A and B are shown apart, each in its own frame.
Chain A
Amino acid sequence: MTTNFENWQAERETEKHFLAEVTLDQHLIDWTKTSGQTNVYELDIAEIPKLNHLPQFASVKENGTAYSSQTSIANVDSNAGSYYYDQANSKVYIHTSGSDDPDGKTDSKYDYTILARFTLYFTSGAGEVHSNNFYYPRMAQGALSNLSVTTRDIYFGTQTTGKGDLRMKNEDGFFDAVLSRYVWRGAEVKILLGGEDLAYADYATVFRGFVDRWQGGDTEVALTVRDYRSLLRRKFPINTFTFDDYPNMDPAIQGKGIPIGYGEIEGAECFLIDDTVGDGKYKLADHPVAVISTIYNNGSSISDSYITKDTANGEFTISGSWSGTPDQITADFQGIPGSSVMMMDTFSDDTMTGQTTHNEGGTATYTEEDGVSKIATPDSVSGYVIYDGKEFANGTIEVKVNVKSVINGSSGAAILWDWVSTTNHWKLEIRQDRGKIQLRDIGGSGLLGEELVTLNTDTEYTLKLEVSSAGVIKGYLDDVLKITYDAGSAFSLNPFGYGNYVGSTVWYDDYTVEVGFLTNGADMVKDIFTRFFDVDSADIDTASFANAADNAWQKIAVWSGGTREEASKVLDRIAHSNLCRLVVGADGKIYYRFWDDGDTAVATVKEEDILGSYQATQEEEDIYDQIDLYWGKNAGSQESVKSYSDPQVKELYKRDETLEIKTFLEVEDEAEDMAFRYYNLVREPITRYALRTKLNAIDLKVGDLISVERRRGISPTGLHNGNYRIFGIKKDFSRWEVELELVSASDALRTSLCSTGCQETCESDCQGWCLTHCEGNCELVCQLACQFQCQQNCQLSCETCAENPCQEVSCQLSCTTSCELGTSCETRCEIACEPPACIRLCETTCELVCQGDNQTSDV
C-alpha cells in the first residue's frame, strides 16, 4: 500500500490516472421577481445533464463582487448583495447591490453581470468519487498528450505560455448542452495525477491554467488550456479612465490606461480626472504610492504649497491659488509601497552611555518574572531598545542575537549594532523581509554588505565584525529581535523580549520610519500578479521569489500608463532587468527564477531513460556581436543605452546583429553590469539539446537543473555527463514521455560565472583578518559580471585589509587570477600598491587599466 505520491510514483506498476477539475461560471439571466418579497429575484437552475444533480455553487458574484450567502429568502430580502441557494427546489434567490432588477439594462446592456461559479469533475480513470464529487470518466484516451511549456528565447523573460488540450468524450451528447450553458473561456482547470491506493490528498497537481477555447463535435470536445501566463496577454494597465468612474475628467484620456508605477519614477504623465476642483485633480497611479515627490508643469516644478497629495489613491490636487496654467503635468514619485524601515534616531545627537539626554523614548527596567528575566514593559511603548552603550577602539566585536520571533511581516528592521568611526556611521541590522543581516552605511553610500543568514527563531547568532580603525561603539543590543510592523500600518510594538540584565536600565530611543517602496523586480512581479491579476498569493512560489529578490536586487523603476500594451511586455522587461525567468510550475504556481550556480540537480537522466537519440543544435539567433541594453527611470522614455560589442564575433561567427534588451533598470552602474552580463551570454554560441525521456518528470519545470549521465558525447557540443538547465519542456502524459530542451549549466550561467573563481581566489589569497571581509565582498559583488566588480571588490578588500601584510600582493594576485586583467594591470598594481599610498593609487590605477578589452572573466 503506497502512502504518498513520491512512493507511489516510484512504483512503475501502479495504475495512474488523471483528474481534471474545471471551475467555470454560469451567466444567470432572466430573473423573476419573488412574490411576497421586496428585493428578491429568483431563477430556476437546471441540473447538469447526466450528472443528475445541481451544481454546488462556490460563489455568486455581481460584477465581480461576491454576494454574501444567506440561509433563507427572507435574509436575502434584508441584505443587499446577497444570495440564497435552495438546492432542493433548484432555485437561486438574489438581492442585487442596488436592490433593483438584476435584468435591468442601460443602453441595451445589462447593468449587472451575475455569475454563479462551480466546478465540474472529470477523470481519465473509470469514474470515482472524491470529497463527495463524482469524477466523470470522460477524458479521452491520450487526453493530455501535449501539455507543453517551452520557449525559443534563452535570454530570460516570461517565455511562452504553457498550454495543452484536454480532450473529452462526447458521444452521448453531454457537452452539447453544457458548452452553451456555461462560460468556458477563462474557466480554471486543474489537473491532478494519482491512482490506485493513493488518497486524493496525495494526488499531485501537474497543471493549472485556464480554458482558452474549446472545439469539438459529436464525438469529442477539446478544451485548450493555458497556464497562468495567459493572463499576461491581457492589456496593461488593466484599468482605464471612464466617465463612469471620473465624470469630470479630461475627455481626451477616456480609454487610456490608468498608470501603474513601481520604484522611483521621474517625469510620469499625470491625468486630469476632475477639472472642477481647484486647478485640477490629477491621477498619477491606479494604486497607493509611497511618496509623491514633485509635481511639474511643462517641466517646471510647482511648489508643494499648492499641491494636496493623496498617496493612498495615487492622486493630487493643484490649488486654485496657484498662479500658473496647467498644461503638461508630470510628477516624480515613488511607486507602490513596500517595506518600511524603522530607523533609529542618529547617534550624532544621542549619547546613550549612562545618559538620558536626547533619549526621547524613555526607559524601562529589567525584572524577573516567573524565573525568567524580562524587561518590564511600559504601556504604549514605541521605540527601540539598546542595551548599555559600550566603547571599543578597534578589534573584533561579537554581537550575539537570540532571535525569538521573526514576524511574518513584509517589512521591518532591527538595528542591532551601531558604530560610529571618524568617517563612517555603520549600522548592523536584521531586515525582516530579507532574512538577512546587513551592514549599512547610513552616511549615504548605502549597503556595504550582507550576510546570507536565514533567521530561525530560538536560535542564537553570533555576528563578528572587525573594527580596524578607531571608533566608538555607541551601543548594542544583546537581546531579542521582536518586531511587529507591516507596511502601511502604524508603528506600535513592544520592543522588549527576554533579557539577561535584571535590574539594569535600558533605553529606548526615538525613531523614524522611512516609508519604503518596492524596488526590485521579484517584489514587483509578485505584486503585479496578486494586485492586478487577482492571483491568490498561495499560487506564488515564495521561495523562488525570495531567492530572486536576494540575487537579482537591481533597482528598477516601472511605469506603464496611457497607451496600453500586452502585460507580457511589461513582465518581460522586468524579467530582463533581473536576468530572471517567469515560470509556471507543474503545481500551477508562479515561479520567478534566478539561475544560481549554487543550484543542485533535481533529477538525473540516465542513458536508459533517453528515448531515441538526442539532438544538439547551435542557433544563429543565439549569437550577437553587440548588446544594446536600454535603461532609465524617466517614465515612458527609458531610452538610455549601455552597449557592448566585440568585433571578434563577426570574424568568428559571421554574425553582425545587435541584441536589444529593454529593461526598467534605473541605476547606470547596474545597467552597465547587466549589459555586460548579457554580452557574456550572447557573444559565443550556445548549444541547445533536445531529448525525449521516460523519466518520471512531472515535477520538472523550466529553469530546473538536471544531471545527465551518458557514456559518450561529442565534446563540446554533445550531451555527455554533466548538468544541464531546462529551458523547454513538453509532457505527453498519454505516452508517459517528456521532451526536454536543455542548455549546459555552464552556458546558462555565463552571466555570473566569475563568482566561484573570484571567491575561491579571494579565500585562498586573503589570509588573516582580510579573509572574512574579502570573502563577504566577493560573495556580494561576484554575483555580477566579473570585470570591474571584482576589481572594486579587491579595492574594497584593500581598504579593509590595509594593515594586513598579505594584502598588497594577494589582492593583486586575486585580481589577476580571477579577472584575468592582464599584465598591465598587474604591473601597475604592483607599482601602485606600495604602502602607504596603496589604497587610493591601486584603486585609481585599476580603474584606469581595467576598462580595456584586455580584461575578461575567468569564464
Chain B
Amino acid sequence: MGAARFLYNNLADYSTVGFTASSEVSTLPVENVKAVLRTQVWRSTGDTDENITIDLGGNYSVDSVAIVNHNLSDGATITYQSSTVSDFATTVHSETLTYREGIIFKFLTAGSARYHKFRFQDSSNPDGYIEVGRLYLGKYFEPSTNFHSNWEAGDVDLSVVSQAEGGQYFADVKAKQKQINLSWTHPILLSLADREKFEDMLSHVGKHRDFLLFIDQENKPEWTYYGRISGELPRFRNAHQANWYEFQMEFKEAL
C-alpha cells in the first residue's frame, strides 16, 4: 500500500480555462464540469463518440486526471489526450482510462500541455448520452509517509429520526456521507517537507474547496473520494523532534 494521494489544484477550474464539447444540451453546458457541484453535469446529445476539450491557455504540467460523477457504462471506452497544439497532431499523453462506477482516475507520467481532451465512446449507454460532473487535471501530492494505521472511515447518515409518544420511530431519510479521519501521530510523523506540502494544500482548498482523496489508489481505487476538509482547518503539532510534526485531518465527502 502506497501513501495516500491528494489532487487539489484543479487546473481546469481556473476562470481563464476554455471548454468545448462535441455536443451539449443547452441547459447542461460543458462549463458545468468546472462548477463546484458534482451534480451539476455536462450532458452530451449522443453517446457514440463524444469529447470535451480543455484549453488551459498555456502549457501546464499534469500527472493525474480524474472524472467525478458520470453516467458511463462499463462498456465505455474512455481516453485522455494532452497536447501542446490544438489539433492534437502530436500528443504529450495518450491514455486509456479504466472504467469505474465511482471516480475514474489515472496517474500519469508528468507532462506539460495546453490542450487536454477526454473522449467518451459509450454506444451501449442506456441513457443515450454522456454525463460528467467534474473533470480534474493537475499534479497530485503524496506525503512521504502514509497516515497512521488507526485511521477512521465511516458514514454520516443525514436522516432525521424522531420518536412518537408511543415509541414508534419516524425517519426523514437522507443520504449518507462518507467521513474520513486521517492522522499522522507518533510514531508516524510528518516531515517538514510534507508539512509544507500540506500547508500548500490547505492554503489552496481552505474549508470551502473540494479536492480528491486517494486512500489507496493501488489496491483500493474505490476508496477514492471527492470532498473537502470538515470543520476548521487542521493544525500541525510539533512532535518534540526537530522538523517532525503530528497532524490530523477530517475529510467529508461532497454529495
B25 contact set on A, CB distance < 8 A: 132
Q: Which of B145-153, B171-179, B192-200, B232-240 contacts A (4 or more CB under 8 A)?
A: B171-179
A15 CB-CB contact with B under 8 Å: yes
- Whether A54 touches B26, Cβ cut-off 8 Å, given contacts A126-B255, A735-B160, is yes
Which 9 pairs between the two chains have the least Cβ-Cβ distance?
A127-B39, A52-B31, A126-B255, A608-B166, A694-B170, A15-B173, A736-B172, A132-B25, A53-B29
A 6-63 contacts with B by CB, 8 A: 12-16, 50, 52-54, 56
A176 CB-CB contact with B under 8 Å: no
Q: Which of A56, A133, A612 contacts B165 (CB 8 A)?
A: A612
CA distance in complex: A56, B28 (Å): 12
A 582-598 contacts with B by CB, 8 A: none
CA distance in complex: A735, B162 (Å): 9
| Minimum Cβ distance to chain B for residue A2 (Å) | 13
A133 contact set on B, CB distance < 8 A: 27
CA distance in complex: A64, B202 (Å): 54
A435 contact set on B, CB distance < 8 A: none
CA distance in complex: A611, B169 (Å): 11
CA distance in complex: A128, B28 (Å): 11
CA distance in complex: A363, B136 (Å): 84
| Minimum Cβ distance to chain A for residue B127 (Å) | 10
Q: Which of B29, B35, B164, B172 contacts A16 (CB 8 A)?
A: B172
CA distance in complex: A14, B31 (Å): 32
Pairs across A and B, CB under 8 Å, 23 listed: A12-B170, A12-B171, A13-B171, A13-B173, A14-B173, A50-B35, A53-B27, A126-B39, A126-B255, A127-B39, A129-B28, A129-B43, A132-B25, A132-B27, A132-B28, A134-B32, A134-B39, A134-B41, A136-B40, A137-B39, A607-B166, A608-B164, A611-B164
Q: What is the size category of the interface that chain B forms with chain A?
A: 20 to 34
Contact at B35–A736, with CB atoms within 8 Å?
Answer: no
CA distance in complex: A29, B111 (Å): 50
A 608-629 contacts with B by CB, 8 A: 608-612
B160 contact set on A, CB distance < 8 A: 734-736
CA distance in complex: A326, B175 (Å): 75
Given A16-B172, A52-B29, A608-B168, 17 other A-B contacts at CB below 8 A? A12-B171, A12-B173, A13-B171, A14-B173, A53-B31, A127-B38, A129-B28, A132-B27, A132-B28, A132-B43, A134-B41, A607-B166, A609-B164, A610-B165, A694-B170, A734-B160, A735-B160
- Whether A15 touches B174, Cβ cut-off 8 Å, given contacts A127-B37, A133-B27, A137-B37, is yes
| Minimum Cβ distance to chain B for residue A732 (Å) | 11
Q: Which of B28, B32, B41, B172 contacts A735 (CB 8 A)?
A: B172
A87 CB-CB contact with B under 8 Å: yes
CA distance in complex: A54, B172 (Å): 35
- Whether A611 touches B165, Cβ cut-off 8 Å, given contacts A52-B35, A137-B37, A735-B160, is yes
B 22-69 contacts with A by CB, 8 A: 25-29, 31-32, 35, 37-41, 43
| Minimum Cβ distance to chain B for residue A204 (Å) | 16
A16 contact set on B, CB distance < 8 A: 172-173
CA distance in complex: A127, B25 (Å): 17
B37 contact set on A, CB distance < 8 A: 127, 136-137
A609 contact set on B, CB distance < 8 A: 164
Contact at B172–A56, with CB atoms within 8 Å?
Answer: no
A50 contact set on B, CB distance < 8 A: 35
CA distance in complex: A807, B43 (Å): 80
**Interface code A49-89, partner B: CB below 8 Å = 1, 0 otherwise?**
01011101000000000000000000000000000000100
A127 contact set on B, CB distance < 8 A: 37-40
CA distance in complex: A736, B168 (Å): 14
A 95-128 contacts with B by CB, 8 A: 125-128
| Minimum Cβ distance to chain A for residue B17 (Å) | 13
CA distance in complex: A736, B41 (Å): 30
Q: Which of B38, B166, B170, B255 contacts A736 (CB 8 A)?
A: B170
A14 contact set on B, CB distance < 8 A: 173
Contact at A56–B27, with CB atoms within 8 Å?
Answer: yes
CA distance in complex: A694, B165 (Å): 11
Contact at A129–B41, with CB atoms within 8 Å?
Answer: yes
| Minimum Cβ distance to chain A for residue B126 (Å) | 14
**Interface code B126-140, partner A: CB below 8 Å = 1, 0 otherwise?**
000001000000000
B131 contact set on A, CB distance < 8 A: 129
CA distance in complex: A133, B27 (Å): 6
B173 contact set on A, CB distance < 8 A: 12-16
CA distance in complex: A53, B41 (Å): 12
B28 contact set on A, CB distance < 8 A: 53, 129, 132, 134
Name the residue in A12, A52, A133, A735 with the highest tally of chain B Cβ atoms < 10 Å from its Cβ: A52
CA distance in complex: A137, B158 (Å): 15
B26 contact set on A, CB distance < 8 A: 53-54, 56, 87
B174 contact set on A, CB distance < 8 A: 15
A 117-166 contacts with B by CB, 8 A: 125-129, 132-134, 136-137
CA distance in complex: A360, B113 (Å): 94
A 395-427 contacts with B by CB, 8 A: none
| Minimum Cβ distance to chain B for residue A767 (Å) | 52
Chain B, Cβ-Cβ closest to A13? B173
- Whether A134 touches B27, Cβ cut-off 8 Å, given contacts A15-B173, A736-B172, is yes
A52 contact set on B, CB distance < 8 A: 29, 31-32, 35, 40
B171 contact set on A, CB distance < 8 A: 12-13
CA distance in complex: A86, B39 (Å): 27
Chain A, Cβ-Cβ closest to B32? A52
CA distance in complex: A52, B41 (Å): 11
A56 contact set on B, CB distance < 8 A: 26-27
| Minimum Cβ distance to chain B for residue A397 (Å) | 61
Chain B, Cβ-Cβ closest to A17? B174
**Interface code A463-495, partner B: CB below 8 Å = 1, 0 otherwise?**
000000000000000000000000000000000
B35 contact set on A, CB distance < 8 A: 50, 52
Name the residue in B43, B165, B172, B175 with the highest tally of chain A Cβ atoms < 10 Å from its Cβ: B172
B39 contact set on A, CB distance < 8 A: 126-128, 134, 137
| Minimum Cβ distance to chain A for residue B77 (Å) | 24
B164 contact set on A, CB distance < 8 A: 608-611, 694
- Whether A126 touches B40, Cβ cut-off 8 Å, given contacts A50-B35, A52-B32, is no
B43 contact set on A, CB distance < 8 A: 129, 132
A734 contact set on B, CB distance < 8 A: 160, 172
CA distance in complex: A607, B168 (Å): 11
**Interface code B186-219, partner A: CB below 8 Å = 1, 0 otherwise?**
0000000000000000000000000000000000
CA distance in complex: A643, B58 (Å): 89
Chain A, Cβ-Cβ closest to B19? A52
B31 contact set on A, CB distance < 8 A: 52-53
**Interface code A721-754, partner B: CB below 8 Å = 1, 0 otherwise?**
0000000000000111000000000000000000
| Minimum Cβ distance to chain A for residue B203 (Å) | 20
| Minimum Cβ distance to chain A for residue B64 (Å) | 25
**Interface code A539-564, partner B: CB below 8 Å = 1, 0 otherwise?**
00000000000000000000000000
